[in-house]
Structure formats: structure tokens, C-alpha cells
Structure 1
Amino acid sequence: MTNHIAEMLNYHTWANQTLLGHVKALPSTVLHQDCTNSYQTIAHAFSHIYAVDKMWYLVLTGTTMQEALAATMSLNLNALDTIEEYVGKYAELADQYKHWLNSHTDLEHTILLDNPYAGVRQTRLSEIMLQVVTHGNYHRGNITTMLRQLGLASTMTDYALFWYQQPVVEEAI
């Protein structure tokens, strides 16, 4: 049986790698070119995705949301210099998520999430994982818009394309 949360994490990692690889193939100046929508630069958008992914990882590993936000705020505000730095940071964090996911069998387990922006609620670990993926999708879309604003093409990172990038596995009925 497919672990859909693991599959979504694999998709999120693939989509980030795909978009980072696309931007890496463009002139290096694109990363820090000023844009008039979403984020100041594509680098700032990549920093935001990374910072929020890191914040949720810290929450999943036992840090309070308030502490996780404080720990990642500087990541959100500061753009890295090169796309290679982003590739490395994203790969390291993806490995941390995979390790965390492999060590958790009950993703329906709930934690008390005290979100300073939305309030307190019991939240399933699986919901947090889906939030990571949907948040990344939203902001990868911002980066696509920013690339188009700069007169450049983006690259497709749809979940359906991810299906075709993976080897076909036959499941038992």
C-alpha cells in the first residue's frame, strides 16, 4: 500500500529540485534580479520556502511553533548568494525530512500546535506534512510568475508530471 504522505514528501523534494535545477541553468543574475510581485527576488522566494520547510521540520521534531518561527526568521529574511547554496540547503533538509518520516509510523498522531497567527489546535503530523507540500506548491508558482515577469520560461512541477518521472510499481490487489 502506498504511503501517501511519503509520496507527497517525495513529490515536494522532486518539485523543489526541478525548479532549482531550472534556475541553475539560467544566467546566475536571475536569482537576484528585482521583481515587482510576490517577492523582491527569486532568491527571496526560495529562502521563504526553505525557511517555512525548516520551521515545520522543527515543529515535527518537538520544537514549539513559537521557537521554530524564531529560529527560522533570519532564514526567511536573508537571500543566499548562489543557487548552489540553495540546492545544498534544500537537499540537506529533504534528507532530514526523509529520516524523520522513516522513524514515524503513526502520522495520524496529534500534537498541540500553538500557532501565533491562527491559534491553538490539535494537529495531525500528516496535516503538517501536507501543509509543507501545499505551501511549497504555492510559492513555486510565485517563482514561475517571477520568471515570466523577467521574460524567462519556467519549468513544469505538477504532481502529475512527477508520476511519470517515477518508475512504475505494480501494487498487489
Structure 2
Amino acid sequence: MLQHPHQLYEYHVWANDRLFAHLEQLPEDVFHAEVTSVFPSVSQTFGHMYLFEQLYMSVLAEVPNKDIFPKMPGWTEEAQGRTVDEMRRFFSGVAEQFRDLLGRTPDPDKAMTIEHPKYGRLDTHFSDILRHVVNHGTYHRGNVTAMLRQQGYAGVPTDYIFYLMERQVGQR
């Protein structure tokens, strides 16, 4: 059985994959169409999510902020104007890096201290930051669903309970 933080991360990957698979079935222009939402398009939402994934993977790997912050513009630029398939490959690559990091972290509840440039210092745990990554993804997958509905397309269920049910069926 997976440790709970690892399972939550696998849910996150599963949910992103489900959404990418759904987007691949829609016309390509849906991914780049401008809408009124938190971000101006589905593609820009995924660009933000990609930046966030890279950022927090670095935080969890305990890379110093002085080494992370200069990389952020490159991560943002890397994700701009991409197709659904290209973004899916980016997310797949980040997921493999996360899995490698999780495999090298024997104690998912290890204590960490992080420094946010605006909000200050936080004494926390590796698992708390990982839950934050999953929660952030859930929030923005909801944004994407709203954007799709604005364009006349249905979303796809990515709730945690559906992940658990699918895993159970796969274990039978």
C-alpha cells in the first residue's frame, strides 16, 4: 500500500492525466481560446500549474530560493504556446521527477522550513507541501472545467473518490 502522501500525489497525476486525455478529444482551439476566468485560457492555466509543479518540486528537494527564482521565467516561457500533447509530456516529466524525489525521501513527514518571499518563514513538513501541490492542482483543474463549460464542452470527473474507485477496480 502506498504511503498516504504518495497516494495523494498519484491521485494528482491521475487527475491531470484524465483531464489531458479529455482535452485531447476536443478541438485544439479549445485549449488556447480566450475566456473570462482566473487565467485567460486553458493553456495558460496549465502553464501556471507547470510553473508551480517545478517550483514546489524544487522546494521539496530543498533547493535554495536563490537557485529557484532565476529558473521561474524559463519555466513560464517553456510552457507558453504549447499543444495539449506537449503540455501532457511536460507534466509527465515533472511527475517522474516527483516520483524520484518521493522515492529518495524515506520520511514523508520530515520537518522542513521554507521561506516565502512575501509571507515569510514556515516551519512545516514535506507531506504538508506535497498536499499543497495536490490541492493547488485540484483548484486549477476546477478552473479548467469552468473554462470548458464556458466554451460549450463538458468537463471530466477528477474527484479523489473516483481515483480511489478506479484503483479498487484495478486491484480486483
TM over 0.5: yes
Secondary structure, aligned partner of 1:108: coil
Corresponding pairs, count: 170
The structure 1 segments of at least 4 consecutive aligned residues displaced by more than 6 Å after TM superposition are none
**Match of residue 151 from structure 1:** 152
Q: Distance in 1 between matches of 2:70 and 2:130?
A: 20
Secondary structure, aligned partner of 1:166: helix
Give TM-score scaled by structure 1 length. Answer: 0.91
Q: Structure 1 8/158 Cα, relative in aligned 2: closer, same or farther at 3 Å?
A: same
Shift of 1:52: 0.2
C-alpha offsets along residues 17-67 of structure 1, whole Å, 9 cap, x if unaligned?
A: 100111111001111100111111100001111110110001111212454
Percent identity for Structure 1 against Structure 2: 29
The amino acid that maps onto 1:59 is: V
**Match of residue 25 from structure 2:** 25
**Match of residue 34 from structure 1:** 34
The amino acid that maps onto 1:129 is: L
Q: Distance in 2 between matches of 1:22 and 1:69?
A: 33
Q: Distance in 2 between matches of 1:150 and 1:69?
A: 35
**Match of residue 107 from structure 1:** 108
Q: Root-mean-square deviation (CA), in Å?
A: 1.8
**Match of residue 88 from structure 1:** 89
Q: Distance in 1 between matches of 2:22 and 2:14?
A: 12
Structure 1 residues not aligned, in runs of 5+: none
Contact 1:56/1:68 (<8 A) preserved: no
Structure 2 residues not aligned, in runs of 5+: none
Q: Distance in 2 between matches of 1:96 and 1:11?
A: 16
C-alpha offsets along residues 88-131 of structure 1, whole Å, 9 cap, x if unaligned?
A: 00111111111111111112212220101211121210111000
